Structure 1
Amino acid sequence: MTEHQPTDHESIGAPDLTAAIRDAVDVGFPSTVADLANLVRIPSVSWPAFDAAHVARSADAVAELLRGTGVFDLVDIRRSSVEDGSELGQPAVVASRPARNGKPTVLLYAHHDVQPPGKESDWETSPFEPTQRGDRLYGRGAADDKAGVMAHVGAIRAFAEAAGDFDLGIAVFIEGEEEWASRSFANFLRDNRELLAADAIVVADSGNWDLETPAITVALRGAVAFNVRIRTLAHASHSGMYGGAVPDAMLAAIRLLDTLWTADGSVAVEGLTSADLEPPAYDEAQLRSETGLLDGVTPIGDGPILSRIWAKPSVTITGIDAPDVANASNTLVPEVLVRVSARIAPGQDASAAFDAIRAHLEAHAPFGVQLGFEGVDLGQAFLVDTSGWAVEDTRAAMTDAWGRPPVDIGVGGSIPFIAELVEEFPGAQILVTGVEDPDSRAHSPNESLHLGVFKRALLSEALLLARLDARGSGTS
């Protein structure tokens, strides 16, 4: 596919079309929020320990919403095998409307699966009963990423209503297992390549700078996660009888894991790199406000705060399988299983990063303990090329919708499948947008969506569709 050239007439769409889109968004917004609430009520957790029937029901609901727009020639629910071919992935929804008269095609991506809710006692309201308090809608998936799904649906509705007939090609891919590592993603792209091929891809799974300022995500850290099994004994022994002479697995784990960081909390693994990014101003007070950092607890790392989050590696221990306090006995624990989750800087290969962390742990294992590595998940980092026409159109649409231009941001989290989109569709321009704000608390208890941000994000995308439809021919 080759680069599009704007036509001589207004590539932004006629002023009356822009006004009509704004009106359509305003009129349709209450029903869009109601549809979002209905999706949130479906506990579509894609993790294996949860009922997969809920994910299937969520896919059905999304498919019906897309059919209801009336713009697609095809709406279907499909699955592909996971990478090792052992099973099928969770159901995804695809839709397609081919471009006409040489217009471009845009692929809209979001995911309809959600994270587990965690302890319901940590929620102020039930996680799967959407609850509006003030300007925020609370519930698991209200922001991540069922709001992304509804931003696409709402934008298509508003654009189609305002434009009537149009020539823009639109493909939609609503994934069903993003929160479980997108294990069938690469195969799904290959299986549906012709249906999903596009000139520009909008990934609605990120956030905005604040409640009043939009953002385009231009940098994403990669991900390396794995289990390390730490063994010191063939069986448990009495801690009073042998403690002080025999190293138990918990002692070894504590000593080993502590070597991953320096005294200030920076990552101490040789071979992990940093990226050269210039973040906007962001101080410690803002970090405390957005994260709930307790009084007296200091931030970790060095350098500008956003550089630590966007451009440097981090290592987090996200789980330990060991006796809990309620069942603790006077025993030397023979084995501990630890889940290590690392984020790696844009520009570093995920496999190389895993090799570096593994080499570090093997080199620093105390007392000659035995280490085993398993459950490895890798996700590549990503840097967006911001020079293309699609990014230019997105900036303009966001400026029109929000009343101020977007900020280019990095994200400390990862969206590993973007690298697979680039591999499968190398000529497409990637746009990472989102509906979240700094207080959305995705993956956490009391996840929420700010409805003002949601409405502006939806309007931005509807205006973007109009701009893309106004572009001239140029697709090979």
Structure 2
Amino acid sequence: MDSGSVHEAVIKSWDEDVLSSLSGLVEIPALSPAYDADWERNGHLRAAADHMRDWIASRGLPGAQCEVVQLDGHAPLLLADVPATAGATARGTVVLYGHLDKQPPLGDWSDGLGPWQAVLRDGRLYGRGAVDDGYSGYAATTALTAIQAAGGRHARAVLLLETGEESGSPDLPAYLEHLSDRLGEVSLVVCLDGGGGDYERMWLTESLRGVVQATVTVRVLETSAHSGLASGIVPSSFRVMRQLLDRVEDPVTGEVTVPEMNVPIPEERRAEAEALAALEPGAAERRYRLVEGMRAASDDDVELILNNTWRPTLSVIGAAGLPDPAVAGAVLRASTSLRLSFRTPPTVDAEVARAALVKTLTSEVPYGAQVEVGDFLLLNGWQAPVTAPWLAAALEEIGDQVFGEPCRRIGIGGGIPFMEMLSRRYPNAQFVVTGALGADSNMHVPDEWLNIEFAEQVTEAVAHILDAHARD
């Protein structure tokens, strides 16, 4: 395959075809089902899938079939099936994965920007879903067309774009079962929902943490009471909640103390953390806009990286029963509810962790208060298999020819549910989890943006990986 031709085809496609269509996708308010109870009636998820389907169909890939699949009661999924090129039919199926659903706007965007407004500015495309990860379907399709334009090869490629990733991918197991016969023997998975620490090199996700989320409610009264009359007699629900939180997290260090949520850190992962820390000292802390005087959880870069990738952490991400301070009256509230989100190490069993959490929070509750733990979201983590020689060689070539810097491996503190599902179903497949996300891309928060040049390089890298896979 001619590398120069691949580069030219990728740049041409992004300039002439991708950016205009991706901008249209950004403008569709395709909120993930968890954030839009009326998603089916509103039709935005289906509109996003149809928009992407029509664009892929217009690319002219020989023999390609593209359809929106929608099982009853499930958010739609876009499937594009591209036949193998000559000489690559025996290499099985490549699954190229991304998602079309989006996070909510989440706050005020900067002047001139908005979540459903595509804005091109200084080599960036702003808008919700631009980098997380509406670009992925365009990158995957463009990589396939570039391969064919440059005389390269690729195995049968199946592009799967779901519409529930931001909700924890609850519908994916049903779709994988429904499509299992059509997928065939999957030998390579390329996920474009990842990224890394900068825009200078290709980043490969080596591991992903899992998730255990639950809503915990502490109830002390049938109805709320005047705080002046009831305090000192009735323990506050918040004080009971605070004691329960101290059971699962050290309030000083932040260490999660539930044994079932902790694992030994593999030595090779510690070595990777040390290499990453040495690459750019202080980067882990600089990525986030700490308020003046605030310090990170540790002064040791390696420990910060391991905290974020191989240790469990707790974030309180929601609350109920607490009025706004401006309208808070003198009331001892009947109950307090908190939404707890534990990020768990890659090898922790989410169901085992859930059971341990419930037992810890509901046993011997202070003062006999009522405690409810429910509304669970459980996701297992994932770690990549050993890299095959053909893939290692391709990655080295990509570092030299596409980025001019060696590829780097990184653990990610977040999760991609599809990876764990596919690794269980296809244990012999190779996995490449990469993408255009950067630490400052503002995914999930206001002013989300895509680095266009970096996305083009990622597209080019995917083309080289698919060609190398077809020739192995």
TM-superposed CA distance for 1:393, in Å, is 5.2
Alignment of 1:196 onto 2:183: yes
* Corresponding residue to 1:62 among 52, 55, 69: 52
* Corresponding residue to 2:25 among 20, 30, 39: 39
In structure 2, what is the Cα distance between the partners aligned to 1:151 and 1:23? 14
In structure 1, what is the Cα distance between the partners aligned to 2:154 and 2:209? 36
Q: Is the 8 A contact 1:124 1:446 kept in 2?
A: no
Query: Relative to 1, partners in 2 of residues 1:435 and 1:240: Cα closer, same or farther, differing over 3 Å?
Result: same
Equivalent residue letter for 1:62:
M
In structure 2, what is the Cα distance between the partners aligned to 1:139 and 1:348? 35
Q: Deviations over 1:385-407 (max 9, x none)?
A: 13324632551353131122211
Alignment of 1:269 onto 2:269: no
Partner of 1:8: none
TM-superposed CA distance for 1:156, in Å, is 2.0
Which shows bigger deviation, 440-449 or 301-310? 301-310
TM-superposed CA distance for 1:432, in Å, is 0.8
In structure 1, what is the Cα distance between the partners aligned to 2:360 and 2:95? 41
Partner of 2:218: 230
Query: Relative to 1, partners in 2 of residues 1:98 and 1:156: Cα closer, same or farther, differing over 3 Å?
Result: closer
Partner of 2:308: 309
In structure 1, what is the Cα distance between the partners aligned to 2:460 and 2:46? 29
TM-superposed CA distance for 1:284, in Å, is 7.2
Structure-2-length-normalised TM-score: 0.89
Alignment of 1:79 onto 2:80: no
- 2:261 is paired with a residue whose SS is coil
Equivalent residue letter for 1:23:
E
In structure 1, what is the Cα distance between the partners aligned to 2:387 and 2:44? 41
Q: Deviations over 1:133-173 (max 9, x none)?
A: 32322111111011222211221232232238x56211110
Q: Is the 8 A contact 1:123 1:445 kept in 2?
A: no
TM-superposed CA distance for 1:206, in Å, is 0.6
In structure 2, what is the Cα distance between the partners aligned to 1:270 and 1:35? 48
Q: Deviations over 1:263-293 (max 9, x none)?
A: 1222233332133222134377323321112
Q: Is the 8 A contact 1:401 1:456 kept in 2?
A: yes
Partner of 1:141: 129
TM-superposed CA distance for 1:175, in Å, is 0.6
Partner of 2:151: 163
Equivalent residue letter for 1:222:
G
Aligned residue pairs total 449
Q: Is the 8 A contact 1:65 1:153 kept in 2?
A: no
Alignment of 1:287 onto 2:276: no
Superposition RMSD on alpha carbons, in Å?
Answer: 2.2
Q: Is the 8 A contact 2:350 2:379 kept in 1?
A: yes
Equivalent residue letter for 1:172:
L
Q: Deviations over 1:74-113 (max 9, x none)?
A: 21101235xxxxxx21111001123354442311110011
In structure 2, what is the Cα distance between the partners aligned to 1:79 and 1:393? 39
- 1:193 is paired with a residue whose SS is helix
Equivalent residue letter for 1:454:
A
Equivalent residue letter for 1:413:
G
In structure 1, what is the Cα distance between the partners aligned to 2:346 and 2:261? 11
Q: Is the 8 A contact 1:129 1:139 kept in 2?
A: yes
TM-superposed CA distance for 1:384, in Å, is 0.5
TM-superposed CA distance for 1:67, in Å, is 0.9
Q: Is the 8 A contact 1:345 1:381 kept in 2?
A: yes
Alignment of 1:420 onto 2:403: no
Query: Relative to 1, partners in 2 of residues 1:129 and 1:171: Cα closer, same or farther, differing over 3 Å?
Result: same
Query: Relative to 1, partners in 2 of residues 1:406 and 1:90: Cα closer, same or farther, differing over 3 Å?
Result: same
In structure 1, what is the Cα distance between the partners aligned to 2:315 and 2:388? 36
- 1:192 is paired with a residue whose SS is helix
Partner of 1:5: none
Partner of 1:332: 332
- 1:358 is paired with a residue whose SS is helix
- 1:296 is paired with a residue whose SS is coil
Q: Is the 8 A contact 1:266 1:300 kept in 2?
A: no
Equivalent residue letter for 1:181:
G
Query: Relative to 1, partners in 2 of residues 1:179 and 1:208: Cα closer, same or farther, differing over 3 Å?
Result: same
TM-superposed CA distance for 1:123, in Å, is 7.1
Partner of 1:173: 160
Q: Deviations over 1:384-442 (max 9, x none)?
A: 01332463255135313112221111000011221111222233222211111121121
- 1:163 is paired with a residue whose SS is coil
TM-superposed CA distance for 1:50, in Å, is 5.4
Equivalent residue letter for 1:264:
T
Q: Is the 8 A contact 1:397 1:461 kept in 2?
A: no
- 1:152 is paired with a residue whose SS is helix
- 1:35 is paired with a residue whose SS is helix
In structure 1, what is the Cα distance between the partners aligned to 2:396 and 2:21? 28
Alignment of 1:98 onto 2:95: no
Q: Deviations over 1:38-81 (max 9, x none)?
A: 11111111233354411110000111122122224321101235
- 1:387 is paired with a residue whose SS is coil
In structure 2, what is the Cα distance between the partners aligned to 1:208 and 1:430? 16
In structure 1, what is the Cα distance between the partners aligned to 2:357 and 2:200? 40
Which shows bigger deviation, 328-337 or 107-116? 328-337
Partner of 1:18: 3
Partner of 2:320: 321
Q: Is the 8 A contact 2:68 2:79 kept in 1?
A: yes
Query: Relative to 1, partners in 2 of residues 1:260 and 1:133: Cα closer, same or farther, differing over 3 Å?
Result: farther
Q: Is the 8 A contact 1:224 1:377 kept in 2?
A: yes
In structure 2, what is the Cα distance between the partners aligned to 1:239 and 1:38? 53
Alignment of 1:116 onto 2:80: no
Equivalent residue letter for 1:67:
A
In structure 2, what is the Cα distance between the partners aligned to 1:122 and 1:325? 26
Counting only pairs closer than 5 Å after superposition, residues 408-447 of structure 1 correspond to structure 2 as 408-447=409-448
Partner of 2:235: 247
TM-superposed CA distance for 1:242, in Å, is 1.1
Equivalent residue letter for 1:228:
V
* Corresponding residue to 1:298 among 280, 295, 300: 295
